[in-house]
Amino acid sequence: MTRHHPPPRRRTVRRLLGPSAGIAAGLLVTGLLAAPSRAQAPTDASPGPGAPIGTTARTVGDARFTPGPCPKTVEPIEELKEARCGTLTVPENRAEPSSRTIRLGVAIVPAVADTPRPDPIVWLAGGPGDDAVGEAKMAVDGGLNRDRDVILMSQRGTYSADPELLCPNVDQFNGQVVGLVYDAPSTERLHVEATKACRDKLAARGVDLSAYNDTQSAADYADLRTALGVKQWNLYGISYGTHLALVSMRLHPEGLRSVGIDGILPPSRSGSAATWSSFRQGVDGLFKACADQPACNERYPNLRGTFEKLVGDLEAKPVTTTVTVPGSDKPVKVVIDGGTLVNWLTSATHTAEAVPRSIDELANGDPQRIAQQWAGWRTNPKGIGVVSHGLAYGVFCSEWTPYESKDAALQGGQKEFPSFPASVQAQAPLLTFLHPDCDAWNIPAAERSIRDVTTSDIPTLALSGAFDAQTGADNGPYVARTLSKAEVVTIPYEPHVVIATSKCAQEIVVSFFETPDAPKTECLKGLEAPAFEIAP
């Protein structure tokens, strides 16, 4: 789950999860079609035996796949140079007979093997609102295309879809927040104003904002499979993509050979309170790892206590400083209050080695390291106009907030961090002002069944990182209760979305798709905690 700009991955081989990832120049020609197709049976030539997936135009029901140029991306992506590409055309709202159509960009990265397996892997991006096509490098770096094609399709509303439901003004304001008191009423008012301005802009373009959600997206992928003529495939979802994968397993199980979910966000648990639980698990794992290392524990004793005291102290008396960020010589004002510190740490588990030193420096009057990191993430120009807030709010405001109380965040914060000030507890990590934003977004609630637990015998790999402060590792055992063929794996010392950070996780994932009933997990035995930075 990534609502705001994601942080850089730790170690040089790690990549961004969301809009700031290296994502590419595209050739997708945009423009909505006037009306949906109404064909009821496959038309056009189907791929012959051994023909590459995605080389033939095909219409099935209301969906049509058309080969063509690769989808647009923010920056060039080497991994897409050999991709077979095109667009999937589907109704914007399948519940409305007169619905217009939308187009979703599709890129199929070929397998490295000369003779690919017939069941490809479909990559489900996170967010909500990240574009799967822009994450091709992450999928390839994870080894997913070793002997299977990897299919990346832009979820509806995302960057390479048509229409794209972007909100650059919201991204810009999220950058300005670094200079404001994070959870102040005045900040909330400005944030909601930015949200409503984007909503009004999209509605004026004729967008049916109620049609951007899990139900429609799951149907998009089911239509893609039939339109491509694929008999069976596999899903790999990261972060919010696990939310969509679990819904797809329940609503469209046909054709699913196996499913990998990484950084698990169960629909039945999604919401503000669960976010506090995830934060607790991730940061406690990190603090414990420091305490278990004699050098770290000696230099930074009682790290958890230091952090919790800082949250209260800074909420009462914020610290203001200035920093410079990469690519700009202009000083950036940064205000660090208790809410800022919580949200910084939620993301900073990706750079775990530096966390103890950063917290210690702040406790001793030096906010520069945290301020620099926080401002760099939030003001990164590569994150402006890339995330689909239209899809994000479509999910949050129809599937999450209608089914939790407005004080769910406060209750979750009180339970997990009773020492925190109420103003901090009231704003779930990375979901600040969620309920007021959803009031402004003003879309109908989804059917309550969208939050049903997924029960399935489809082989499933449930992967988590022990340092994941966004989607807690206990979500793995939770979803496995009703997945009869689930393998639950927690990768020690790793943050959110382990395929992007752990060679061991990558080996496990590749072995899972090879033999879903017996993934190889031997690499877990040799994993070691990070070497935390020790200040002189």
Query: What type of residue is 262?
Result: D
Task: In whole angstroms, give the CA distance from residue 147 to residue 131.
Answer: 24
CA-wise closest residue to 217 among 127, 154, 311, 147:
154
Is the four-CA dihedral 127, 128, 129, 135 of positive or negative sign? positive
Helix (H, G, I), strand (E, B) or coil at 489: strand
DSSP strands (E only) in 367-435: none
Q: In what order do the strands lie in the sheet with 460-465?
A: 58-60, 63-67, 84-91, 101-109, 150-153, 121-124, 233-238, 256-262, 460-465, 486-491
Question: How far does Cα 304 stand from its chain's mean position?
Answer: 27
- Reported as half-sphere exposure (CB side, CA atoms, 13 A), residue 180 has a value of 16
Structure tokens belonging to residue 271: 């919401």
User: Pairing relation of β-strands 233-238 and 121-124?
Assistant: parallel
Q: Distances in Å between the alpha carbon of 152 and those of 66, 309, 313?
A: 15, 44, 46
CA-wise closest residue to 338 among 425, 452, 249:
425
Is the four-CA dihedral 266, 267, 269, 273 of positive or negative sign? positive
- Residue 484: CB atoms within 10 Å: 12
What is the number of H-type helices and E-type strands within the chain?
17, 12
Give φ, ψ of 151 to 5 degrees.
Answer: -105, 125
Instruction: Show Cβ contacts of residue 50 under 8 Å, excluding neighbours closer than 6 positions.
Output: none
Task: In whole angstroms, give the CA distance from residue 216 to residue 91.
Answer: 9
Q: Give, for all 536 residues of the chain, the pLDDT tens digit.
A: 655 444 444 332 333 333 333 222 222 222 222 223 323 445 554 555 567 999 999 999 999 999 999 999 999 999 999 999 999 999 999 999 999 999 999 999 999 999 999 999 999 999 999 999 999 999 999 999 999 999 999 999 999 999 999 999 999 999 999 999 999 999 999 999 999 999 999 999 999 999 999 999 999 999 999 999 999 999 999 999 999 999 999 999 999 999 999 999 999 999 999 999 999 999 999 999 999 999 999 999 999 999 999 999 999 999 999 999 988 889 999 999 999 999 999 999 999 999 999 999 999 999 999 999 999 999 999 999 999 999 999 999 999 999 999 999 999 999 999 999 999 999 999 999 999 999 999 999 999 999 999 999 999 999 999 999 999 999 999 999 999 999 999 999 999 999 999 999 999 999 999 999 999 999 999 899 999 999 98
Kindly report whether the peptide bond that precedes residue 185 is cis, defined as omega within 30 degrees of 0.
no
Query: What type of residue is 35?
Result: A
Q: Are 397 and 343 in contact (CB under 8 A)?
A: no
Q: Are 236 and 144 in contact (CB under 8 A)?
A: yes
Write down the pTM of the prediction: 0.92
Give the 3-state secondary structure of 186-241.
Answer: HHHHHHHHHHHHHHHHHHHCCCCHHHCCHHHHHHHHHHHHHHCCCCCEEEEEECHH
The domain 58-165+207-231 having CATH identifier 3.40.50.1820: the answer here is yes
Task: In whole angstroms, give the CA distance from residue 467 to residue 14.
Answer: 15
Query: What type of residue is 390?
Result: G
The structural domains of the chain, with segments of one domain joined by +, span: 58-165+207-231, 166-206+269-447
